[in-house]
Amino acid sequence: MLWLCLYPTRLSLESLDAADRPDVAIVQSKGNRRWIVDTTAACASGMELGTALALYSLTQIERRPEAERAALEQLAYFAYTLGAPVHLITEEPRWFGDAPLGAVVVEVSASLSLFGGLDALRRFVNERIGEQSLTVRPGLAPTIEGAVLAAQAGLVFDSLPRFRVWLKRQPLTTLRLPEQAIKVCTGSGMQTAGDVLRIPAESLARRFGAVVPRYLRRLLGKAADPRPAIVPPETFVRRWQMLGVIETVEGLLFPLRRLLVELEQYLRARDSGLMRFHIDLLHEDHSRSVVEVGLSMASRDASHFLLITRQRFERVELPGGVVELTLRAESFVAPNVAQHDLFDNAAKRLQDWNTLIEKLRARWGSEAIWSMAAASDHRPERAWRKLQPGQDDVEVETPPRPTWLLPEPRQIERPAELLGTPERIAVGWWEAPTERDYFQARGPDGRKLWVYQDKHSLRWMLHGYWS
């Protein structure tokens, strides 16, 4: 087996969208003591907060493990494009000043032939990593625990012997051991991971319990490492809590861009698309509003989602500042992926046409864009109906009719020249009985008219023109 680990190097900051803010410190508490987990300031991670505040001016943000896990889940959906199964690795800080661990691992040995070998897979991963909302460092090793250590170091090991040679030379703290085990081993004069690996498993178990020897056996591939795989849920719900109050629509587009990329990764992991999603907004006065975004054809493209969302928000007036938003998608269909031909760009034209329709609907409303279709009614003024874009039409057989009808029939004198045989329409007995004889006629100016005689009043009416 070969495990690829995707290790976010700034998970605590980036899960809160704080990595670009100056002098921000993500803070962790243990009892009455607090330390810095990660920061954008000049101080070091792991420093006690009181000491850091004496030296630097910092904006403190409490660490949010639930936001970190949500960000890791989205990274896991991307990992499903590389292989399966996919696992989340999450560990809380082991001691004061320690950093939490969050990573995603995926088994890729079965995918090597698909990508064309290990080097091709690594190139693909490096290209796609830049598209993620997290700063990710990949690593590769034959075991899950080994892949985590390899990713933290940014290394690749395609065999257990190579990994073991490297591991034995690493500092003791490289191993993900409990605090007590690290202290005891350090106090005994051990300095490297190799020093610990030379101790018999029975001795480690007597001193530290089963946790330490089990970890080392899994690390070296001597024991199985069963873990529950993460599976995309049936619905996509991603909540984003703002660090402040967002007053403008433009300010909402920054977190939305990130969430829509995560939505695309979710859809690709499920090999599906969607035609509608909702954006729930929580305002600072605790009221809520919902923005619905609809598409004319199923898609899973984040840039397309953002384009239509931007147009939709142009019609939205925020009732108040926004403190939290939730992106929600609950109904999925097969994705509409256009297959372009080298010599025929019909699929591209259709895709462009659908994008135009979606932009117009997002800007003006879904009821503002429609086409005409035939309706099952013999009366010409009722023989048509509005059809929404993408809605299937129903074929209705009708006799030849002119395309130019007057808004209201206009009374005229009986035409001097009637053409062809009449079409009789007798319908509407349940509401307003209609009985008419329609003719094609020639007007005084030579134009071809569409006229009828009302059989009740015997009046002649002009209803349309033939082109």
Q: How much is the average pLDDT of 172-199?
A: 92
- Phi, psi values for residue 93, rounded to 5°: -55, 140
pLDDT in tens, 293-310: 888 778 888 888 998 888
Percent of the chain at pLDDT exceeding 70: 88
Q: Band the pLDDT of 337: cuts 50, 70, 90.
A: low
Q: Which residue has the tokens 């874009």?
A: 389
Confidence at residue 142, expressed as pLDDT on a 0 to 100 scale: 96
Confidence at residue 316, expressed as pLDDT on a 0 to 100 scale: 81
Checking if the pLDDT of 338 tops 60, the result is: no
Of the given ranges (325-334, 351-360, 415-424), which has the lowest mean pLDDT? 351-360
**Residues sharing a CB contact under 8 Å with residue 317, sequence separation 6 or more, in sequence order:** none
442 vs 460: CA distance, rounded Å: 14
Q: Is the bond preceding 85 in cis, omega lying within 30 degrees of 0?
A: yes
pLDDT in tens, 221-242: 999 998 999 988 889 999 998 8
177 vs 92: CA distance, rounded Å: 12
Q: How much is the average pLDDT of 325-338?
A: 81
**398: burial class by Cβ within 10 Å (0-12, 13-18, 19+)?**
middle
For residue 7, what are its two tokens?
Answer: 């290790």
383 vs 373: CA distance, rounded Å: 9
Q: How much is the average pLDDT of 31-58?
A: 93
Q: Domains, the chain, ranges and CATH?
A: 3-16+64-219 (no CATH), 236-350 (3.30.1490.100), 397-465 (no CATH)
222 vs 235: CA distance, rounded Å: 38
Confidence at residue 221, expressed as pLDDT on a 0 to 100 scale: 93
73 vs 90: CA distance, rounded Å: 11
Report which secondary-structure segment, H or E, holds 438: strand 434-442
62, β-bridge pairs: 27
3-class SS at 90?
A: strand
Q: What is the DSSP letter of 394?
A: -
pTM for the whole structure: 0.70
More confident: 182 or 365: 182
Give residue 425's identity as a one-letter amino acid code: I
For residue 453, what are its two tokens?
Answer: 């005689």
239, β-bridge pairs: 326
Query: Please, what is the average pLDDT of the chain?
Result: 87
Count of CB atoms within 10 A of residue 335's CB? 17
**Residues sharing a CB contact under 8 Å with residue 94, sequence separation 6 or more, in sequence order:** 178, 179, 182
- Residue 104 · residue 83 · CB < 8 Å: no
71 vs 240: CA distance, rounded Å: 10
Q: Band the pLDDT of 386: cuts 50, 70, 90.
A: confident
